[in-house]
Amino acid sequence: MTTTPLSHTPHDSGVPESARDFSVEERVVLVTGAAQGIGRELARQFAAAGAFAVVADLAIDKAEAVAKEIHDAGGVGLAVEVDVADESSVAAMVDTVIEQWGRIDVLINNASIFATIEKGPFDEIPLEQWEKVLKVNITGSFLCVRAVAAHMRAAGFGRIINISSDSVTRGVGNYLHYVTSKSAVIGMTNALARELGGHGITVNCVRPGMVTTEVERDQSPEARARAASQQCIPRNMVPTDLVGVMFFLATPASAFITGQTIACDGGYTHSS
């Protein structure tokens, strides 16, 4: 595994500049919540495309298993333990990556509480659960952005990609803590884009639909089929469906796109 700090730009492979704009090769890509589900697939796919993937997760054993998958497939991956809701833990994660590669090019704020959330009427949500969901899903993203921002400013390049949810536009009932947290992610994206745009850093948001992963969730086959039937592309969404838009937002090619929330949901929702 590479241990020498890298320069601020990927090496010149002789590929024309315009083509390299669409490449993630040798980009240091930090994915939180990457031990399973969407995050795991994103880390694997970025590594397969030549990026140096940081598999960051509280479940370090699972993160190390993903890093091994990446290594066995010929890629470069680094497992790092992190609790995104803890400021010191986030700082230690960033220090580890900087020590390893000297920079962080891309931050994907994927970590969130979702599958384990107890659904119920808003006035029956325990305050402790409400605060836990918001602390991980929104404060965690804030802490990660704050920790990487100085390094991205110094490099004059950065791509921050936050992950929201189509539940924000649909207003899913009995899910107020989750929907509120994912709504806040969109607002945070818009405000950060204003603050960081002058430093060569873009901040965008991707809003997935109902994604079928290996993580067990309260989604029956009937619910998945019903959601798919309401999409323009009538099939179940899988993690690889997010890869194209995530790659694009991570590259120099998206340099003039910031403060945007992009729906990737098979056409389930439409923007006006």
Active site residue 178: yes
Q: Where are the alpha helices (DSSP H) in the chain?
A: 17-20, 37-48, 60-72, 87-101, 127-134, 140-155, 167-170, 176-196, 221-229, 243-250
Spatial CB neighbours of 186, under 8 Å, sequence gap ≥ 6: 162, 164, 168, 205, 207, 261
Q: Which two tokens stand for residue 2?
A: 């590479």
The dihedral over CA atoms of 135, 142, 245, 116, expressed in degrees to the nearest 10, equals -10
Tokens of 238: 């899988």
- Determine whether 127 is exposed, middle or buried from the number of CB atoms within 10 Å of its CB (0-12, 13-18, 19+): exposed
Distance CA 225, CA 248 (A): 29
Catalytic residue of the set 52, 157, 175, 178? 178
| C-alpha to C-alpha distance for 217 and 212, rounded to whole angstroms | 9
The two tokens of residue 257 are 């796109």
Active site residues: 178
